[in-house]
Structure 1
Amino acid sequence: MQKGRKRPLPKGQAQTDRNKAYTVTEPAELLPFLLKHVTGAGRNVIKNILAHGQVAVNGKSTTAYNYQLQPGQTVTVSKERPKEKLPFEGLSILFEDEHLIVIRKDSGLLSVASDTGKDNEVTAYRQLMAHVRLDDPGNRIFIVHRLDRDTSGVMLFAKSEAVQQQLQNNWQDAVRERSYVALVEGMVKKEQGSVKSWLKESKTLKMYSSSRPEDGLLAVTHYKVLRAGKDFSLLELHLETGRKNQIRVHMEDIGHPIAGDKKYGARTRPIGRLGLHARVLAFIHPVTGKLVRFETEIPKLFLKPFQGQLQN
């Protein structure tokens, strides 16, 4: 054997080494780190492993060659390609760990099945249940809060009943920020304000503000004007309470119903959907105790009525 030439690895060694965990001891990019530590695998093999989602950093899969590693992290390389994930309809996952799933729901998708819904009705709940059962048929998810069918935005699900109960029982304290954007009818002249009322539900299942103080559930909504035109305004809304249809009722109360919300007084449907989007949700993680925050973009459709107009 020539001097300096590496001896060939025993058959199967590379495959075995690619099923190991490696501890990061100094800052590095992921691809060079793998090339250094995964023995018996060339550059193309490593890139192929990365591309197929077989590399995870602290348990979270990544395909980024330039992922910045920090000391103390663990890089796991699996010899098995991950199972194919189910395609989602009307939702995308923003975050997932062993306790929670945070999604962005599209307008038109039900959060959970309606009482009169069909057994095969597509919902966020059913899709996510099928998603977690790919790993274990015994896995389940639990809904923490709901968004109306025609409202889009950030939604939170728990992976155990214990986590669900912890979140729901401490919702007011756990949630640090919960904001929406709403396209409403008319020009809102007051730049910011608050709406406070006591909400009740009619026999036709429509929520309304009682004319008597403390007659119902207290609801408080704060708003700020982002854009205003002659016919429509775009508002940022922060919830102090989280009552059923709270924003929709309060916008009707101030004379500026949400565009497309015929149930609560709207006369127009300029964007072909309800003009309400849950943009931000920030809360204390029930297990780690850390503050986590999820923010989504304002739907482009919400800006359509202001095109060609001067901003206020």
Structure 2
Amino acid sequence: MPILKYTVSKNIDLIKLANIKGIDSQNLKKSLAIGGILVNNKRIKKIDTKLKKGDRVSICLDENPPEFEFSKDWIVYEDEYLIIVNKPQGITTQGTMCYDINHLYYFVKQYLNGYAGLHHRLDRDTSGLVLFTKKKEVNKEVAKLFKNREIKKYYITIVHGRLERKKEINQPIGLIPESNPKKWWVNMPESKQAITIVKPIEVLKNFTLIEAMPLTGRTHQIRVHLSSIGHPILGDKFYNQEEKSNYSLMLHCKKLEFNHPVTKKKVTIETDMPERFKDLLKKEKE
């Protein structure tokens, strides 16, 4: 999937620039249709877009967005103000640099036939609960809940090794300098405080099913913290180069707890354990 980047040297039509760069109209139209062309970091949709000298253009070619179809079964909670969706593994929470269709935010806006507010994200390969607002007027209160860490998020994960005691992992996390793709780790320059509480649910011979509760919201926090203490998540080849299994990432946001931004009543939403977890645990016990 090549990403072509240009800085425009003179005023020019997008289609003419594409022609000069050897991009045929069919590929250009496909990239436009899926949201794969950005001008000055803003997505454009029109083939007759006029570019100005100094504009920064990126064009993604040969991109194929994930093939998902929205199911109402994903919805686990909905009221006048909020909707909470159980995100399947493999779908992004929002668009990427190369596409703006077939992601969770896209589907939720389609389902609501209008506005949806996104306040937090899960990685593509992490499944579980994602909360959206349905009305702009509650965004401020929901944002405050996240900022003040008043929305509790509980994850389940299966890790390598035997983790037999509850543990608080208090290690700051930061971006590894010059990492490409971007990767995070503990105690990096400009790291920020990161705290995760982990406790075993079931200890098996080679793996442990655990509950993880992040008290902060750093990128890849649970994955980084668990790998840093020698218990990388099963299936996480990004943070465990020694991962040899063919399992997908065993990380799922299972429960959300918070006080409703309008009614102020306590809301607790919990999902069932995903089938991939059940299958692995059953196999390990045989």
Q: What is the TM-score normalised by the length of structure 2?
A: 0.69
Query: Deviations 1:171-218 (Å, cap 9, x if unpaired)?
Result: 254635311001111222x32111011111133321111167xx4211
Give the distance between the partners of 1:266 and 1:183, measured in 2 at CA.
17
Number of equivalenced pairs: 215
Aligned to 1:183: 158
Aligned to 1:84: none
Matched, 1:196 2:167: no
Aligned to 2:213: 238
Q: Alignment partner of 2:193: what SS?
A: strand
Matched, 1:153 2:133: no
How far off is 1:169 after superposition? 2.7
Answer yes or no: is the 8 Å Cα contact 2:117–2:132 preserved in 1.
yes
How far off is 1:252 after superposition? 0.6
Q: Alignment partner of 1:307: what SS?
A: helix
Q: Which amino acid aligns with 2:282?
A: Q
Aligned to 2:247: 272
Give the distance between the partners of 2:213 and 2:201, measured in 1 at CA.
13
Q: How many percent of aligned residue pairs carry the same amino acid?
A: 31
User: How has the CA–CA distance of structure 1 residues 283 and 148 changed in structure 2, closer, same or farther, with 3 Å as cutoff?
Assistant: same
Matched, 1:131 2:111: yes
Answer yes or no: is the 8 Å Cα contact 1:258–1:266 preserved in 2.
no
Aligned to 1:142: 117
1:1-312 → structure 2 map (5 Å cutoff): 88-89=70-71, 92-117=74-99, 119=100, 121-133=101-113, 139-173=114-148, 175-188=150-163, 190-202=164-176, 203=178, 204=180, 205-210=182-187, 215-265=190-240, 267-268=242-243, 270=245, 272-307=247-282
Answer yes or no: is the 8 Å Cα contact 2:145–2:151 preserved in 1.
no
Q: Which runs of 5+ in 1 are unaligned?
A: 1-86, 134-138
How far off is 1:246 after superposition? 0.4
Give the distance between the partners of 2:106 and 2:262, measured in 1 at CA.
24
User: How has the CA–CA distance of structure 1 residues 186 and 230 changed in structure 2, closer, same or farther, with 3 Å as cutoff?
Assistant: same
User: How has the CA–CA distance of structure 1 residues 98 and 209 changed in structure 2, closer, same or farther, with 3 Å as cutoff?
Assistant: same
User: How has the CA–CA distance of structure 1 residues 308 and 169 changed in structure 2, closer, same or farther, with 3 Å as cutoff?
Assistant: closer
How far off is 1:233 after superposition? 1.2
Q: Alignment partner of 2:140: what SS?
A: helix
> Runs of 4 or more off by more than 4 Å in structure 1?
308-311
User: How has the CA–CA distance of structure 1 residues 181 and 298 changed in structure 2, closer, same or farther, with 3 Å as cutoff?
Assistant: same
Tell which deviates more after alignment, 194-203 or 142-151: 194-203
How far off is 1:99 after superposition? 1.1
Q: Which runs of 5+ in 2 are unaligned?
A: 1-68
Q: Which amino acid aligns with 2:223?
A: R
User: How has the CA–CA distance of structure 1 residues 210 and 174 changed in structure 2, closer, same or farther, with 3 Å as cutoff?
Assistant: closer
Give the distance between the partners of 2:246 and 2:129, measured in 1 at CA.
20
Q: Which amino acid aligns with 1:223?
A: V
Q: Alignment partner of 1:241: what SS?
A: coil
How far off is 1:309 after superposition? 5.2
Aligned to 2:20: none
Answer yes or no: is the 8 Å Cα contact 2:159–2:210 preserved in 1.
yes
Answer yes or no: is the 8 Å Cα contact 1:257–1:266 preserved in 2.
no
Q: Alignment partner of 1:217: what SS?
A: coil
Q: CA RMSD in A?
A: 2.3
Give the distance between the partners of 1:182 and 1:112, measured in 2 at CA.
23
Query: Deviations 1:2-22 (Å, cap 9, x if unpaired)?
Result: xxxxxxxxxxxxxxxxxxxxx
Give the distance between the partners of 2:248 and 2:146, measured in 1 at CA.
29
User: How has the CA–CA distance of structure 1 residues 130 and 310 changed in structure 2, closer, same or farther, with 3 Å as cutoff?
Assistant: closer
Give the distance between the partners of 1:200 and 1:147, measured in 2 at CA.
18
Give the distance between the partners of 2:244 and 2:143, measured in 1 at CA.
34
